Amino acid sequence: CFDKILISACFLGERVRYNGEVKALASQLLSQWQSQGRLISVCPEVISGLPVPRPPAEINPKTLQVITIDSVDVSQQFSQGAQQALRLCQQHNIRFALLKESSPSCGSNTIYDGSFSQQKIVGEGITTKLLRQHGIQVFSEFYLKQLQGLLDQ
Ligand code: SF4
């Protein structure tokens, strides 16, 4: 039984992004993992009940609340989505996740700075943070080869 990978649903071309756009990640490694049956897909925001499309949200770096561009606090939904992603990992004995960089849920190295001005800062999304607290290693689309190196073959 080989390693499964939790993956951001948007990478697989699912229509889950805040702006309703479909943007699959094209990669040979990804196709390989998919054909091996390794991928367990989740969108933490949609699984928590947020709609598609939805207003963009960013983490306020001071309060750590997740706030939409319309100033609505969606911290609760983001946290529920993270819990459900964690549950999926536990159900499938997942040690690795491949999540979309800079998303307020899925970012693993950078996130937007909370000012909705396209400025990124070092940080991690709500789901990434929870998964890492539970020992799951989270990689972005820029670290596919590193992830491949850690998988059992
Ligand atoms: Fe993709 Fe994660 Fe955003 Fe969902 S929350 S659209 S999976 S980056």
Enumerate residues lining ligand 1, CB below 6 A: 8-10, 16-17, 43-45, 100, 103, 105-106
Q: List, for residues 28-76, the tens digit of each pLDDT value.
A: 999 999 999 999 999 999 999 999 999 999 999 999 999 999 999 999 9
CA of 20 to the centre of ligand 1 (A): 11
Average pLDDT over residues 91-120: 98
Average pLDDT, the chain: 97
133 residue type, one letter? Q
Per-residue pLDDT, 152: 82
Quick check: 104 pLDDT over 90? yes
> Is residue 16 very low, low, confident or very high in pLDDT (cuts 50, 70, 90)?
very high
**Ligand 1 site-directed mutation target among 15, 25, 59, 106, most atoms within 8 Å of CB:** 106
SS3 breakdown of the chain: % helix, strand, coil, rounded to 5?
35, 20, 50
pLDDT more than 90, % of the chain = 97
Helix, coil or strand: residue 101: coil
Ligand 1 geometric centre to CA of 100 (Å): 7
What is this structure's pTM?
Answer: 0.97
* pLDDT at position 1: 64
How far apart (Å, rounded) are the C-alpha atoms in residues 134 and 136?
6
For the chain, the domains span: 5-54+74-99+126-150
Mean pLDDT along residues 3-15:
98
Q: Residue 153: pLDDT above 80?
A: no
11 CA → ligand 1 middle, Å: 8
What separation in Å is there between the alpha carbon of 127 and the centre of ligand 1? 10
Taking the CA of residue 45 as reference, the ligand 1 atom at the shortest distance is 5
Ligand 1 centre to CA of 153 (Å) is 27
Q: At CA 82, angle to CA 96 and CA 102, rounded to 5? A: 70
Task: Give the per-residue pLDDT at 142.
Answer: 98
Q: Is the pLDDT reported for residue 15 higher than 70?
A: yes
